[in-house]
Structure formats: structure tokens, C-alpha cells
Structure 1
Amino acid sequence: MTLLLGPPSSGKTRLLLALAGRLGSDLKVSGRVTYNGHGMDEFVPQRTSAYTSQYDLHAGEMTVRETLDFSARCQGVGGLSDMLAELSRREKAANIKPDPDIDIYMKAAALEGQKTSVVTEYMLKILGLEICADTLVGDVMK
């Protein structure tokens, strides 16, 4: 997770949108963005990053866990089974043996129909929000 601070009109949003692969097609881009040496055309950046705007919009009737899970599903994180199948195909084609820990995490993250996803539980843990995971978020009315 990254917090980017800067003065107004300094290009913060444009930079984050570029990194998330969400720039408008009408914009002229120069330079090159790489992730660990891989160009933007070698993978789908929308599957590896997300841009969250500065406006705090959420449903006040949901818990912290439900809010994170809902956000993840809206950003496409819940439909990982197609991506996992493609990743497995590419690994086999390149004769790559996946790391067992990463492989089991990817398979667990791709499961659908669960009450909450392993990705949501992992985010709660790394953000230190497990203690308040079942607390209602609330809004201006609640």
C-alpha cells in the first residue's frame, strides 16, 4: 500500500493511474513503466494494482471485513480463477515450478462462494485490523 502526498496539480493522481494501467487511451504517454523489469504489455496491471480515489465512499451498514471484501470484489479480485488458469498455463509453457507457498495462496484466493476471501483476511492481518474486523464502519448518519 502506498500513500502519495504532494501539492495540488503535481500529478499524483495521473502517476497512480499510470501505475494501475488506467490512463485514458486519448493521452499521449512517453517513457516506460516496468514492474520488476516487466513492461506494461507483458501482464495485466489492473489485476496487480488498484487505484482508490481520495473520496471516502462506503456503505455505513457494513463491518470493516465486509467493506474490504466488497471493495475487493468490485475491483475484480474475486474472479481470480481465469487468471490462475492462465498463470498455470504460462508456468508450464516456460517450465517454471511455482513456489509452493505462493501457489497455495493463489489457489485459496481464487476460491469463490466463500463468506469472505483469503485475500480479505490477509489484508485485515497486514493492516492490523483484525481486532476491529467485525465492527460497523458507520457513516455520517450512523
Structure 2
Amino acid sequence: MEQLRSELDKSGAQTALVRGTDPPPRPPETVTVEPGVVASVGPSGRSAPLYVTAEATSGRTVRRYDGRNAGTAADRAAELAAERDPRAVWLCERGQIRSWWGDGIADLLERRLATAARRADARLVVWTDGGDESVAAGEDDEAVEDRYDVVVGP
């Protein structure tokens, strides 16, 4: 984490893609969107939560959203970024989001969080661990590297 922060500080970069690693524990002054660790499959399809986390005076606040409505989670993250003045907005486990909900949801979250980060004068950091089976097979995870000022990892 310190290496990434140092690289971003030196370069003045506002966006970073970190490949091949899980995000570290949440540092102070971040707003985070990430999927839950478990999904259930039922007659109506896959169901999994998205969590939006931010600092509050009483500690960290966590909100759980139905992953089928990622726009609501993105809206809440944008509100928190505007209210809390974070140093960074994180999208965690992009590969898992893509695997569970598809490219459209992963792209929607990334675009909306990038806008929220810009408006809050914060950095956008996208973490992708390659959890998606297609990534594990060596295929692209659709996180387009030229969207980022800094790309770290394999």
C-alpha cells in the first residue's frame, strides 16, 4: 500500500489499476465499494451483496446493497465521497464483480466511482485479483489499462 501511495504521490497520478492482488485493509480516508465474499444461486439467478464502506466519526460505516442494483451502491459511494472528503475511492475485486454480474456492472461501477473521485478531488484505485475464471485462464479482465495513470502488477 505504501509503495502504491508513494508512486501516486511522486507522479501526481489520480487513477491506478492494481492487478493480481487483493486490496489491503482499508486505510483511513477511503470510500470503498466491494462485493461480498459469498453469492447464492437461486431460481432468480445469482444473488450477492455489494458493500459500501467509508469512515465516520464513530469508526467505519458499512452499508450492504443488493448486487442486482449496483447503481444504488454507486450513488451511495458518490454521496459518501462528497460528504467525507476521502483521499481515495476504491473499487475492490473488479474481476469478481465482472464474473458475478458481468462487464456492464463492472464498467458502471468503475465509471461512477471515477466521477465521484474526480468530484471529491480523490484518487480512484481499482483492485482486481483475477478471481474471474477467464482471467485465471489468461484472458483479459476488461480493465482497460489506458484508463489509468498507473498500472501495478502483472
- Which has the higher Rg, Structure 1 or Structure 2? 1
TM-score range, shorter chain: under 0.3
Q: Which has the higher contact order (CA 8 A, sep 6+)?
A: 2
Structure 1 length-normalised TM? 0.25
